[in-house]
Amino acid sequence: MTDEQWEKLLAVINGQVLEPLPVGFIIDSPWLPGWAGMSIMDYFSSEQMWFQANVAAVQKFPDIMSLPGFWAEFGMCTEPSAFGVKCIWPENEFPHTGKIIADIQQVNNLQKPNPKTDGMPPFVIQRLKHCQPKIEKAGHFIKFAVSRGPLNIATFLMGCTEFLVAVKTNPEQARKLLEIVTDFIIDWLELQAEAFPSIDGILILDDIVGFLGDGDFKEIAMPYLKRIFHLFDANVKFFHNDAAGLVCAPYLPEIGVNLFNFGFNHSLTEMKKLTNNAVTLLGNIPPRDVLADGTAEEIRDSVKMLLSSVTDKSHIILSCGGGMPPGVSTENIEAFLSANDL
């Protein structure tokens, strides 16, 4: 992000209403390679092509906050790889992982990885270090420490269904797994913050919290998220969950979150009420059916409807309900921006 964009982000988080409303998108590997005309494998394996795709996007759309900005992730493999999972890298499909926990009792033998040496995290740090001079020459700065969340990583290690079943049948072991994963996440975020003093924000992505009921969320997810978000005295505490977001929304201020990206099936008005207007909302037109597959007119209509749905324009950054999806064209992004200027 540029210094100007960062100051705008802080202003919105602090309750200032900007005109026009700022626009921001979570921009990463599901969208960037295809938009930039390269394969997903090239995007992940080449520092030069990764940088070219990212810098092309921020230069093409200078009025958009790219969040977290120059994200040096390796898809969903980044954090799970540190635990020793198998990573599968198709040429032009999203990478995915195998599982290493077949039985919840195996958690007793699970060791916390070292993000300095284990899996893909060291490659994330080195990629950013190698590209940092070029990123800053382009007027941007590394502002976020980023990680998938504890439940998200846990499900990659043992499977989503298996983990959620364990939450009900063996909660003690499920919590032990989350303790190990959370300790790793804290180490990982601290490593990023040490490597890049410009970092002043945390981004945690965890859709699995949307699969929990209220009681399970407060017992099995909230304590670990709270530990993570209270780790740093950062100005931006950013949480992404575009699964069902109602379960976590009322607790976000207590957790420490001040910026929330959620699914398009929840309205801004609903989220403002649930968060007591204490959390800045990043959203939330439909990402795939409208932003990616819709016409320019449909996108403009969706943005206009979004704008007209709220009278209080504080704590809002216009976006889609989730990350930028594959297949969004330059023309569709420009249609989104034009609707906000009307």
* pLDDT one-digit tens code per residue, 107-129: 999 999 999 999 999 999 999 99
pLDDT of 12-34, one tens digit each?
A: 999 999 999 999 999 999 999 99
- Nearest-10 crossing angle of helices 222-229, 150-158: 120
pLDDT of 93-109, one tens digit each?
A: 999 999 999 999 999 99
pTM of the model: 0.97
Q: Are strands 144-148 and 236-241 parallel, antiparallel or unpaired?
A: unpaired
At residue 200, the 3 state secondary structure works out as: coil
Pick from 122, 92, 123, 119: nearest CA to 30: 92
d(CA 137, CA 325): 28
pLDDT of 147-193, one tens digit each?
A: 999 999 999 999 999 999 999 999 999 999 999 999 999 999 999 99
pLDDT of 33-86, one tens digit each?
A: 999 999 999 999 999 999 999 999 999 999 999 999 999 999 999 999 999 999
User: Does 342 score more than 60 pLDDT?
Assistant: no
d(CA 155, CA 86): 14
The domains of the chain are located at: 25-62+70-280
The CA-atom distances, in angstroms, between 338 and each of 20, 304, 307 are: 11, 10, 13
What is the CATH architecture assignment of 25-62+70-280? Alpha-Beta Barrel (3.20)
